[in-house]
């Protein structure tokens, strides 16, 4: 994971509890309370949704909750702004297609192959 540990202005970032979230069926390590979008970027995931008309990928843009480029389906609810929604353990996050749809919020545990 690539994260800012020692910020040039804010100083050293405090340690947070590690949790696991489920992203498109894949388990991803995150820190409790950080924005979902930050956890995704640290895990190398940059696409949050695809547009309805042209199926174009969208990701983090404004990072302050004003646009809708980072919306994803979170725990079965579509159109959640991931840049301002905090991570909690066992959160289920899915890449959204178009306006999204309500889904089941269960995450299957991955098995090692």
CATH code (residue 25) = 3.10.20.440
Q: Is 56 inside any structural domain?
A: yes
Domain that holds residue 36: 6-97
| Domain-located, residue 104 | no
In a domain, 111, yes or no: no
Convert the pLDDT of each residue in 102-112 to its tens digit.
Answer: 877 666 665 44
Is the separation of the CB atoms in 42 and 3 below 8 Å?
A: yes
User: Residue 20 domain-assigned?
Assistant: yes
pTM: 0.85
- For 7-56, the pLDDT digits (tens) are 888 788 888 899 999 999 999 999 999 999 999 999 999 999 999 999 99
pLDDT 10s digits, 79-104: 999 999 999 999 999 999 999 888 77
- How many domains, in total, are found in the chain? 1
């Amino acid at each position: 994971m690539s994260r800012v540990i020692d910020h040039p202005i804010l100083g050293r970032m405090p340690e947070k509890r590690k949790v696991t979230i489920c992203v498109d069926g894949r388990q991803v390590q995150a820190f409790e309370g950080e924005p979902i979008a930050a956890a995704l970027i640290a895990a190398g995931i940059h696409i949050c949704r695809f547009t309805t008309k042209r199926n174009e990928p969208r990701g983090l843009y404004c990072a302050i909750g004003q646009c809708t480029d980072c919306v994803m389906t979170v725990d079965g609810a579509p159109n959640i702004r991931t840049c301002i929604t905090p991570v909690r353990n066992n959160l289920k996050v899915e890449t959204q297609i178009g306006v999204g749809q309500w889904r089941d919020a269960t995450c299957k545990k991955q098995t090692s192959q």
